[in-house]
């Protein structure tokens, strides 16, 4: 497999013969899809017949029909996953020419006349992390000597006044540090209509036509400069490609949970994604970040329509990325996974609860795709992506229904007091029913775990990767522990996802409350609040199953254990001390930890430095408005950026709508000075912050008025500037 | 000291105001220059003294106004007038843009780092400093190339039918349900004869 580090960062010097397009034999995409899904369906068919045979042996019933239907759906999903693992393994071992990185000699492709925007849409994010990620990417890009082809845009949608001002402050610090004024831009929208996709649309409407390509980052994204340059080269060499999605590696995890997820991502994802690329080829997907997009077709075809009907399905499309890829494909632009291109990174959640919170957001978006699924003109590949996305969440309630139906069947048998009179199996005649059931169970387990085993085998065949992961023995031990952990985690996910699906279908929200984190992760109290229902369900369910049939209880024990142990599992795996201890033992080690790329090392070093300086400590409430009013420089930056917005007629109109009449604004400003920011709701603070004349006026007034005419809060704030 | 300023006309008073009042005025002006990141103590002392001296001159003519108010006003005048000279822009009472632009220019020209000694100093100033100040301009982004993305109509297929159900009249819906129930009853009757 090619890696970013093994390639030079720029095109080699010398006469440029132009790109060499590799003419592959006909790829027969349809044949690949047919073969791939035939294997999955065949496996499902065989195992489903065995399962039907088992059910038939004890006498058919309606509940058994339901159980069989659920089994078929769920096993099909498992076998699709299994096929991704098998096909991916074979491709990685024997080689794969059908990948975007192999189509053209793209590294010789000049990019001198290209322009690319790297956009970072943010919404009330961890501001230092966002800017340090940009710094690391910027410096890496500068090292490629291609920096002048790229502009960075921080596109803020933040609604928190303190975050807004902190974003401006750190933006200026960054551009001054890097000498990047005019290359790293900051703009904040006045309203966050359309959320992230609306934010991107707003950027494209203002500046999109200046750039041939844009690369979308998430707040926690990081990319190597060389990787970014290669993406542009790939786009230049493949003019029919509209979007190339990289496969970001999870990095920078510190908690045990984060490190387990990171390890699993780095070990298993290459095999799975190679398998995914086998059947998707040019009908790949978009995951919303760390992807390069051809601006013109995106602007022309990928603006999202509003869906008919009311929430949760109607209205704005929440998970925009899948749909944008589908719309791009619908217009015959190609979408590829650059799955073997390294140097693309992101960060993952550090705890079970944070992971579930993220899933909640994704769940609603993915379920909403059900409305788009049958849209006319979509490519079948897109329909498969959308379906798999929907079932990513829908499978949880189906698993729960499967287990409950099984319990129901056992319960009705016990209650009916009938004895088990089994008949001979149709085609597994030699097996008694218990052995028959165990065989099916073993096949299910094999289908679930085979991709993991294949990923380890594939690693064992690659000396360099094996070393980067810390050796085969430690990888195997880590994979075993990871499997045990995911066995306990899966039932929790099942309950959470079921809750999400039900609440979304009923049009309700899930109340999480504020994230309650101690110095080292989730607190016991918060975990108990989040998991109390999981534990209660485990207790009730476990008791019923034990009373029903102690033999069945042991089959259910891993599922019940995960739910029952939810609180300690959640708290302990969120601890960075345990994460570090696991690292000391050589567990869950990833290549980015053993050989950190420069960008990641720089990012971590900078964040440590900021931490040591206390710059990451939470700032006091209303520090943003204090800075924006009092600090002569921040006030000037803030007002200048606001005035800049007036150059855009759309913003000018929005600002006029947003601002209250001058007299009302004056009253608000006077109230702010006389009573301090606590007297104003956040919306009023945002209105004041969005009005340039008022912000200039406030700065002057707060410094010119006698102290005793100002609120005590302001007097204290001014005192910060005294020596 | 210049006796015409009337600084010491009464014990414990300066320009007709208690010394504590001037102390507070001094602290406020000093705080503002601190906020402008004037780190050099000698320069800082000179700048504060310059402002306080101007306030002291105005004080006898404005007996009803507090010393800190006069000092802050003088500080604003001194700074804005200096911005007007350096940036070659006449001060305007219309808005505060000159002050805003001046402060931004100070930051972008790196006055706190490179040019502390030039701040509020009468001209001529070094060319590099003047150029840096006059060229300083903040942009949220490059020039706009405005366009308007618009979603293309997307026919949702069978979903369109489902989503249009809410448009069906209630009477019609009830009718459909009655028909459905009748069909079930008919099936039941037919299969139980």
Interface of A with B in 671-690 (CB under 8 A): none
Asked if A179 reaches chain B (Cβ–Cβ under 8 Å), the answer is no
Pairing outcome for strands A291-294 and A241-246? antiparallel
Tokens in use for B48? 């504060």
Chain A neighbors of B32, CB-CB under 8 A: 632, 703, 721
Chain B neighbors of A374, CB-CB under 8 A: 156-159
- List, in sequence order, the alpha helices (H) in A549-648: 550-564, 566-573, 576-584, 591-594, 598-612, 623-630, 632-645
| Angstroms from A70 CA to nearest CA on chain B | 24
Query: Which class for A58: exposed (0-12), middle (13-18), buried (19 or more C-beta within 10 A)?
Result: middle
Q: What's the pLDDT at A26? A: 45
Asked if A209 reaches chain B (Cβ–Cβ under 8 Å), the answer is yes
User: What digits encode the pLDDT tens for the residues B125-169?
Assistant: 999 999 999 988 888 788 888 888 888 888 888 777 766 666 677
Q: Which among A114, A121, A286, A645 is positioned nearest to B140, based on CA atoms?
A: A645
Q: Which of A265-274, B6-15, B118-127 has the highest mean pLDDT?
A: A265-274
Tell me how far apart the alpha carbons of residues A455 and A471 are, in angstroms, rounded to a whole number: 14
- What's the angle, vertex CA B156, arms to CA B155 and CA B159, rounded to 5? 145
Interface of A with B in 445-504 (CB under 8 A): none
Chain A neighbors of B139, CB-CB under 8 A: 182, 185, 644
| Angstroms from A616 CA to nearest CA on chain B | 22
Tell me how far apart the alpha carbons of residues A62 and A421 are, in angstroms, rounded to a whole number: 18
| Angstroms from A327 CA to nearest CA on chain B | 9
Tell me how far apart the alpha carbons of residues A380 and A382 are, in angstroms, rounded to a whole number: 5
Of B31, B104, B145, the CB nearest to A209: B145
Chain A neighbors of B152, CB-CB under 8 A: 301, 303, 305, 327
Tell me how far apart the alpha carbons of residues A216 and A320 are, in angstroms, rounded to a whole number: 13
Of A210, A631, A637, the CB nearest to B35: A631
Q: What's the pLDDT at A15? A: 44
Tell me how far apart the alpha carbons of residues A110 and A658 are, in angstroms, rounded to a whole number: 46
Residue A63 CB neighbour total at 10 angstroms: 15
CB contact under 8 Å between A632 and B68, yes or no, is: no
Pairing outcome for strands A517-518 and A521-522? antiparallel
Q: What's the pLDDT at A2? A: 35
| Angstroms from A374 CA to nearest CA on chain B | 6
CB contact under 8 Å between A637 and B138, yes or no, is: yes
DSSP characters over A414-479:
HHHT--------SS-TTS-HHHHHHHHHHHHHHHHHHHHHHHHHHHHT-HHHHHHTT-HHHHHHHH
CB contact under 8 Å between B151 and A304, yes or no, is: yes
pTM metric for this prediction? 0.90
Residue B117 CB neighbour total at 10 angstroms: 13
Of B148, B151, B156, the CB nearest to A371: B156
CB contact under 8 Å between A299 and B24, yes or no, is: no
| Angstroms from B162 CA to nearest CA on chain A | 10
Strand order in the sheet with A150-156: A184-188, A150-156, A116-122, A213-216, A291-294, A241-246, A334-338
Q: Which among A2, A487, A536, A518 is positioned nearest to A226, based on CA atoms?
A: A2
Chain B neighbors of A176, CB-CB under 8 A: 110
Asked if A210 reaches chain B (Cβ–Cβ under 8 Å), the answer is yes
Tokens in use for B93? 């009472």
Chain A neighbors of B107, CB-CB under 8 A: 172, 633, 636-637
Q: Which among A251, A168, A89 is positioned nearest to A690, based on CA atoms?
A: A168
User: What digits encode the pLDDT tens for the residues A491-510?
Assistant: 999 999 999 999 998 887 66
Dihedral sign from CA coordinates of A172, A174, A177, A180:
negative
Chain B neighbors of A648, CB-CB under 8 A: 144, 146
Q: What's the pLDDT at A8? A: 35
A218 and A286 Cβ atoms separated by less than 8 Å: no
Query: Which class for A272: exposed (0-12), middle (13-18), buried (19 or more C-beta within 10 A)?
Result: buried
In three-state secondary structure terms, A21 is strand
Q: What's the pLDDT at A417? A: 77
CB contact under 8 Å between B32 and A647, yes or no, is: no
For chain A, list residues with pLDDT below 70.
1-27, 509-519, 659-660
User: What digits encode the pLDDT tens for the residues A691-707?
Assistant: 988 999 999 999 999 88
Q: What's the pLDDT at B173? A: 79
**Chains A–B, number of C-beta pairs less than 8 Å apart:** 169
Of B24, B96, B153, the CB nearest to A696: B96
- Beta-bridge mates of residue A120: A154
Q: Which of B47, B69, B100 is the best substitution to test chain A (most A C-beta atoms within 10 A)?
A: B100
User: Helix A692-704 and helix A682-689: axis angle, to 10°?
Assistant: 100
| Angstroms from B95 CA to nearest CA on chain A | 7
Q: Which among A162, A220, A218 is positioned nearest to A350, based on CA atoms?
A: A220
Q: Does the pLDDT of residue B192 top 80, yes or no?
A: no
| Angstroms from A37 CA to nearest CA on chain B | 25
User: What digits encode the pLDDT tens for the residues A296-341?
Assistant: 999 999 999 888 877 778 888 989 999 999 999 999 999 999 999 9
State the average pLDDT for chain B. Answer: 85
A345 and A222 Cβ atoms separated by less than 8 Å: yes
Largest CA distance in chain B: 125
Q: How far is CA A717 from CA A157, A425, B95, in A?
A: 27, 82, 25
Chain B neighbors of A182, CB-CB under 8 A: 139, 142
């Amino acid at each position: 497999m090619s890696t970013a580090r093994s390639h030079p960062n720029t095109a080699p010097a010398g006469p440029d013969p132009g790109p060499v397009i590799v003419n592959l034999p006909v790829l027969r995409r349809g044949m690949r899809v047919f073969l791939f899904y035939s294997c999955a369906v065949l496996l499902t068919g065989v195992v489903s017949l065995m399962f039907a045979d088992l059910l038939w042996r004890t006498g058919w019933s309606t509940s058994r029909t339901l159980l069989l239907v659920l089994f078929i759906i769920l096993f099909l999903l498992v076998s699709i996953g299994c096929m991704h693992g098998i096909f991916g393994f074979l491709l990685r071992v024997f080689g794969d020419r059908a990948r975007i990185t192999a189509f053209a000699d793209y590294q010789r492709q000049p990019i001198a006349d290209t322009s690319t925007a790297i956009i970072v849409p943010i919404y009330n994010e961890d501001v230092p992390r966002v800017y340090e990620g940009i710094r690391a990417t910027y410096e890496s890009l500068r090292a490629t000597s291609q920096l002048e082809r790229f502009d960075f845009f921080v596109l803020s949608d933040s609604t928190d006044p303190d975050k807004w001002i902190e974003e401006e402050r750190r933006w200026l610090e960054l551009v001054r540090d890097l000498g990047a004024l005019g290359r790293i831009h900051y703009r904040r929208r006045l309203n966050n209509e359309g959320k992230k996709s609306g934010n991107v649309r707003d950027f494209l409407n203002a500046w999109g036509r200046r750039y041939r390509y844009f690369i979308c980052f998430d707040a926690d994204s990081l990319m190597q400069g060389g990787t970014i340059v290669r993406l542009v080269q790939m786009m230049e060499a493949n003019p029919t490609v509209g979007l190339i999605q990289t496969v970001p590696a999870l990095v920078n995890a510190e908690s045990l949970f984060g490190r387990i997820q990171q390890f699993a991502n780095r070990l298993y994802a290459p095999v799975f994604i190679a398998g995914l690329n086998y059947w998707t080829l040019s009908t790949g997907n978009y995951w919303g970040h760390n992807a390069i997009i051809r601006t013109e077709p995106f602007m022309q075809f990928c603006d999202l329509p509003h869906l008919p009907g009311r929430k949760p399905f109607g209205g704005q499309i929440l998970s925009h990325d899948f749909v944008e890829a589908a719309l791009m494909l619908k217009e015959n632009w190609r979408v590829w996974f650059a799955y073997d291109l390294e140097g693309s990174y992101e960060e993952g959640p550090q705890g079970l609860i944070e992971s579930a919170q993220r899933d909640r957001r994704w769940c609603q978006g993915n379920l909403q795709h059900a409305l788009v699924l049958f849209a006319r003109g979509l490519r079948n590949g897109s329909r498969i992506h959308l379906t798999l996305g929907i079932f990513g969440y829908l499978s949880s309630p189906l698993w729960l229904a499967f287990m409950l139906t099984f319990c129901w069947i056992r319960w009705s048998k016990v209650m009916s007091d009938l004895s088990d009179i089994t008949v001979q199996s149709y085609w597994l005649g030699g097996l008694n029913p218990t052995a028959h059931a165990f065989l099916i169970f073993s096949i299910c387990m094999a289908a679930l775990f085979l991709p993991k085993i294949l990923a380890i085998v594939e690693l064992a065949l690659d000396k360099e990767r094996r070393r980067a992961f810390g050796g085969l023995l430690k990888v195997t031990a880590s994979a075993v522990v990871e499997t045990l952990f995911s066995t306990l985690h899966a039932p929790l996910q099942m309950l959470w996802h079921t809750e999400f699906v039900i609440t979304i279908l009923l049009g309700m929200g899930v109340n999480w409350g504020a994230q309650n984190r101690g110095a080292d992760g989730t607190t016991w109290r918060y975990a108990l609040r989040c998991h109390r229902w999981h534990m209660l369900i485990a207790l009730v369910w476990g008791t019923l199953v034990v009373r029903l049939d102690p033999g069945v209880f042991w089959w259910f024990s891993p599922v019940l254990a995960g739910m029952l142990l939810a609180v300690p599992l959640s708290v302990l795996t969120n601890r960075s001390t345990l994460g570090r201890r696991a690292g000391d033992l050589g567990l869950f080690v990833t290549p980015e930890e053993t050989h950190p790329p420069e960008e990641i090392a720089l990012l971590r070093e900078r964040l440590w430095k900021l931490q040591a300086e206390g710059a990451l400590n939470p700032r006091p409430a209303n520090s943003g408005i204090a800075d924006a009013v009092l600090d002569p420089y921040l006030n000037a930056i803030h007002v200048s950026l606001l005035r800049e917005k007036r150059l855009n007629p759309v913003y000018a109109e929005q600002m006029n709508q947003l601002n209250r009449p001058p007299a009302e604004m004056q009253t608000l400003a006077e109230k702010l000075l006389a009573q301090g920011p606590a007297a104003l709701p956040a919306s009023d603070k945002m209105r004041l912050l969005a009005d340039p004349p008022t912000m200039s006026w406030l700065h002057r007034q707060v410094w010119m008025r006698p102290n005793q005419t100002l609120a005590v809060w302001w007097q204290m704030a001014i005192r910060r500037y005294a020596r | 000291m210049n006796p015409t300023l009337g600084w010491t006309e009464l014990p414990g008073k300066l320009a007709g105001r208690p010394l504590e009042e001037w102390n507070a005025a001094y602290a406020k002006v000093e705080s503002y220059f601190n906020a402008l990141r004037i780190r050099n103590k000698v320069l800082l002392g000179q700048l504060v003294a310059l402002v306080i001296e101007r306030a002291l001159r105005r004080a006898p003519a404005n007996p009803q106004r507090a010393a800190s108010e006069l000092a802050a006003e003088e500080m604003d005048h001194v700074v804005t007038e200096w911005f007007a000279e350096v940036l070659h822009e006449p001060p305007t009472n219309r808005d505060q843009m000159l002050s805003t632009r001046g402060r931004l220019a100070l930051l972008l020209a790196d006055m706190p780092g490179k040019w502390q000694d030039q701040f509020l100093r009468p001209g001529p100033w070094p060319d590099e400093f003047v150029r840096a100040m006059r060229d300083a301009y903040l942009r949220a982004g490059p020039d706009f190339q405005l366009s308007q993305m618009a979603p293309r109509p997307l026919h949702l297929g069978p979903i369109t039918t489902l989503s249009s159900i809410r448009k069906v009249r209630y009477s019609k819906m009830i009718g459909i349900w009655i028909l459905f129930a009748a069909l079930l009853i008919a099936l039941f009757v037919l299969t139980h004869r």
